[in-house]
Each structure stands twice: as structure tokens, then as C-alpha cells.
């Protein structure tokens, strides 16, 4: 059956980091990790990751995309190898600021193509609400409509009054187990270990209860972000794992009703991480959609 390649074919997390660098963002006041792959003169493409992981999520689909595009991957503040301040109110609005400052700092075109997953769908919605018009925009499983977003038990616990204490007890093994629970296809254990290692880097696990505040923020901006999503004139593609318990078939049903003109790729036996569970299916779909 098609699916994720063996772990030996994925670049490890440390290999991923070795292909990138950290840069200072003066307005943000922190350093963030990023990497740029593909031809310098290729059409620009930015990949934005989800919670609780990092840009390494894109490792299996990056080679196909970087064959023709200049691909920018970055870690949001609090994620991966970016700074992880421990007394900080993490905000999706600030992450949108981060993306815009990275583009400005690198001289990377802000109107290039964009591919987003999970947490990053809200960052993209905020960017659209600010007037961003990417050339094309591909969406992978995420909570586009917060009333349909189904939290895992672990996420519910982090939001609760014991969230800070839970974060202090969180381990890479527990995090990997939580991610495994939203998958429908098998992903190599080494890949899940790398995902957890990225989250744990720079003592990041102790911030889990702070990062999860995006759930509240989605509700706060629900009407504005839904309006931006549904009114944007740029071409959309939705590449969706239908067996995702968090934002799967139930989320896509409304998306298709509201935006019937978009392109849809239905992955019937895939869960929350299409780019990790089925990169052999996702990569060619993205390549075709993003074709200049």
C-alpha cells in the first residue's frame, strides 16, 4: 500500500537542521530557524507547519517541491529550533507577524505560493485578512472552522487549569504517543521520535500550555478569519486526510459547501498529517497545483 517511506529515506531532524540556519528578527525580538531549498530563481513557495511540531514535517515532500520552486520552510516562535521564551503569550497574530518579517528580511516575495497545515491554517487566514494575496494556496488538515475542531484529550487537558503542571511533566515519548493517536497510516517510529525531539528542543515542552492558547484565539477571530478564507479570490487546493479525528471529514464537509470552486484531493485512509502519512500522494498533488 502507498504511504510513508521508510525512515531511512527521511532526513533526520538533525540533518534537517544542518540544512538551515537561525536568523534574528529585530521587530519580533527573537531568533527563528528557517531553511531555503530549490533553485534561487524558482517561483517562491512557503511551507508553514502545525502544532506541536516544526518545519521538519515537510521533509518527505520537500524534494519534489524544491525541484522547481524556491521553497522557504520556517519554525514558528516556540516551535522546532526557533526561540522558545518561557514567559510569553504566544499568539497566532504574532506568528503572522513573524512570517511577514521573515519574508521582508530575506527579500522573499510575499505573493508567492503558500502551503499550510494544522496550526498554520489560522496563520494563513490572518494573513489573508491583512490583504495578502498569494499566487496559490494549498490547505492541509486544520481547524478552519473552530466550532468543528475536535480537541484531543491531551489538548483539552493542556487548556484546563492543570495545563502548566501537565506541561512540566510532558515527555517526548508522551508527545509522540499523542501524535500517533491522530494518524490513520503508519509513520516510521524514528520520524515520530524526531517530531518529538523538535518540540522538546530548547526546553520547548514546558511551553505546551502556552502554545495551545491558539484554540481560544481561533474562537476570538472566527468570523473575521472565516470571512477572509471564503472571500479570497486566489486559487485554493484542499489536500485532506478524511480519517483525521481532529479536523477530518467533518471539517471538509463545510469547506466544500462554502468553497465548491476549489480543488479537492480526498485522502480516504489518511489522518491528520497527510504530508507525513502519504507523501507519495501529497507531493505530486502539490506539484501539479503549484505548477507556475
Residue range 102-112: mean pLDDT, rounded: 97
Q: Which long-range contacts (CB under 8 A, 24 or more apart) does 220-226 make?
A: 221/92, 221/122, 221/125, 221/126, 221/129, 222/145, 222/146, 222/147, 224/129, 225/122, 225/125, 225/126, 225/128, 225/129, 226/125, 226/144, 226/145
Residue from 288, 10, 242, 236 nearest 114 by CA: 236
Number of domains in the chain: 1
Asked if 41 contacts 70 with a C-beta cutoff of 8 angstroms, the reply is yes
* 8 is a domain residue: no
* 99 is a domain residue: yes
2 pLDDT band, cuts 50/70/90, is low
* 216 is a domain residue: yes
Asked if 109 contacts 36 with a C-beta cutoff of 8 angstroms, the reply is no
Residue range 54-75: mean pLDDT, rounded: 97
Mean residue pLDDT across the chain: 96
Q: Examine the pLDDT at 148 and tell me if it is beyond 50.
A: yes
* 30 is a domain residue: yes
Residue 6: predicted pLDDT: 67
Residues facing 115 on adjacent strands: 47, 138
* 6 is a domain residue: no
* 110 is a domain residue: yes
Q: Examine the pLDDT at 1 and tell me if it is beyond 50.
A: no
* 4 is a domain residue: no
Q: Examine the pLDDT at 292 and tell me if it is beyond 90.
A: no
Residue 9: predicted pLDDT: 76
Residue range 6-27: mean pLDDT, rounded: 91
Q: Are strands 44-48 and 21-25 parallel, antiparallel or unpaired?
A: unpaired
3 pLDDT band, cuts 50/70/90, is low
Residue from 78, 150, 138, 87 nearest 113 by CA: 138
Q: Examine the pLDDT at 51 and tell me if it is beyond 80.
A: yes
Chain position carrying cell 536568523: 23
pLDDT single digits (tens) 231-265: 999 999 999 999 999 999 999 999 999 999 999 99
Which structural domain, as residue segments, surrounds residue 111? 16-290
Of the chain, the end-to-end C-alpha distance in Å amounts to 31
Q: Can you give the CATH number for the domain in which 134 is found?
A: 3.40.50.1820
Residue 4: predicted pLDDT: 74
Amino acid at each position: 500500500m502507498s504511504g510513508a517511506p521508510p525512515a531511512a529515506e527521511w532526513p533526520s531532524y538533525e540533518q534537517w537542521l544542518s540544512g538551515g540556519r537561525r536568523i534574528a528578527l529585530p521587530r519580533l525580538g527573537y531568533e527563528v530557524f528557517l531553511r531555503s531549498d530549490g533553485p534561487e530563481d524558482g517561483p517562491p513557495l512557503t511551507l508553514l507547519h502545525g502544532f506541536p511540531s516544526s518545519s521538519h514535517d515537510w521533509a518527505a515532500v520537500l524534494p519534489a517541491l524544491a525541484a522547481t520552486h524556491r521553497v522557504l520552510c520556517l519554525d514558528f516562535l516556540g516551535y522546532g529550533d526557533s526561540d522558545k521564551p518561557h514567559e510569553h503569550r504566544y499568539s497566532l497574530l504574532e506568528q503572522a507577524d513573524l512570517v511577514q518579517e521573515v519574508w521582508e528580511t530575506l527579500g522573499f516575495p510575499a505573493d508567492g505560493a503558500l502551503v499550510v497545515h494544522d496550526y498554520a491554517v489560522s496563520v494563513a487566514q490572518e494573513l489573508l485578512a491583512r490583504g495578502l494575496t498569494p499566487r496559490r494556496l494549498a490547505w492541509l488538515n486544520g481547524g478552519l472552522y473552530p466550532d468543528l475542531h475536535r480537541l484531543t484529550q491531551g489538548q483539552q487537558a493542556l487548556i484546563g487549569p492543570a495545563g502548566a503542571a501537565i506541561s512540566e511533566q510532558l515527555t517526548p515519548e508522551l508527545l509522540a504517543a499523542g501524535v500517533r493517536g491522530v494518524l490513520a497510516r503508519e509513520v516510521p517510529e524514528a520520524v515520530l521520535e524526531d517530531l518529538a525531539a523538535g518540540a522538546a528542543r530548547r526546553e520547548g515542552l514546558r511551553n505546551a500550555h502556552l502554545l495551545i492558547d491558539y484554540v481560544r484565539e481561533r474562537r476570538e477571530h472566527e468570523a473575521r478569519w472565516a470571512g477572509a478564507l471564503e472571500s479570497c479570490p486566489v486559487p485554493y487546493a484542499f489536500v485532506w486526510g478524511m480519517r483525521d479525528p481532529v479536523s477530518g471529514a467533518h471539517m471538509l464537509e463545510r469547506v466544500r459547501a462554502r468553497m465548491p470552486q476549489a480543488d479537492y484531493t480526498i485522502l480516504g485512509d489518511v489522518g491528520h498529517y497527510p504530508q507525513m502519512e502519504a507523501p507519495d500522494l501529497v507531493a505530486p498533488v502539490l506539484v501539479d497545483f503549484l505548477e507556475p
